Amino acid sequence: MPEFQPGQRVRVREEGGAPSSLPDTKFLGQEGTIQSIQYGRGTLQEGHPTFYHVEFDNARVVDKVMAISADWIEPR
């Protein structure tokens, strides 16, 4: 079962996530709602990376939904 679920409120961490998956800095500290879950490619040893499509509050229309790594989001 994924760590987060659609409809859940989340916040993008300002620090502490995986540097290899750092989101655009304009989203650091921003809050939003998970819309859907996307699984990436990975290995059986490492597991499949998980990305959450987050709809951000007060974002421009073109930036309203963004895929964010599980390493960078936390529950609100």
CB 37 within 8 A of CB 7: no
Domain that holds residue 16: 9-75
Task: Please give the pLDDT value at position 31.
Answer: 96
Classify residue 66: in a domain, yes or no: yes
Task: Please give the pLDDT value at position 61.
Answer: 81
Task: Please give the pLDDT value at position 28.
Answer: 95
Residue for token pair 């079962």: 1
Task: Please give the pLDDT value at position 21.
Answer: 86
> Cα 24 vs. chain centroid, distance in angstroms?
11
Task: Please give the pLDDT value at position 29.
Answer: 95
Task: Please give the pLDDT value at position 38.
Answer: 87
Task: Please give the pLDDT value at position 60.
Answer: 83
Q: In the chain, how many domains are there?
A: 1
Classify residue 28: in a domain, yes or no: yes
Q: Which DSSP string do the residues of 10-50 spell out, in sequence order?
A: EEE-SSSS-GGGPPPGGGTT-EEEEEEEEE---BTTTB--E
Task: Please give the pLDDT value at position 59.
Answer: 82
Closest listed residue to residue 13, CA positions, set 65, 61, 21: 21
Classify residue 29: in a domain, yes or no: yes
Classify residue 55: in a domain, yes or no: yes
Question: pLDDT below 50 — which residues of the chain?
Answer: none
